[in-house]
Amino acid sequence: MIVFDFDGVLYDGESARRLGVELLKRALEQGYRVYIVSGRRRRDLPIIRRVLEGSGVGIGRLANILLRDRGSETGFKLEAYTRVLDLEPCILEIHDDNPEALWPARRMVTGGLVLHHNEECSVLYGSSIFEECME
């Protein structure tokens, strides 16, 4: 199972991010369950739906989308990862553009933490199934 953040990984505020969407699609094609964990509020679900569906990712293909109700983004994400682990045997990778949201989750992944920046990604901790992020 793989977790992707929305803003900064799949969306730049104006349009879909090519690399993040490509990796998400590839994860789905390879049979991984995919969760979106975003610091956005629930009221932003229509934006997320529009961006993903416009990129060819049907929302029904995702295991779940977890959005923040309250609190800080980093605190919410750590709580959300814990909730995901209650449902799934493990989290293989987490993809985010905020190292402060990634680093505290290092003990929750069996693979790695992948940091996205612009249209590039790199492994912050562990390893990735995606060659693009290993360079």
In tens, the pLDDT along 19-72 reads 999 999 999 999 999 999 999 988 999 999 999 999 999 889 999 999 998 888
CA angle 106, 107, 111 (to 5 degrees): 65
pTM to 2 decimals? 0.95
Instruction: Give the pLDDT confidence score for residue 135 in this predicted structure.
Output: 62
CA angle (6, 10, 12) in 5-degree steps: 95
Average pLDDT on 100-127 reads 93
Q: What is the pLDDT of residue 28?
A: 97
Enter the tokens of residue 110: 């069996």
Q: Which domains does the chain have, with CATH numbers?
A: 2-134 (3.40.50.1000)
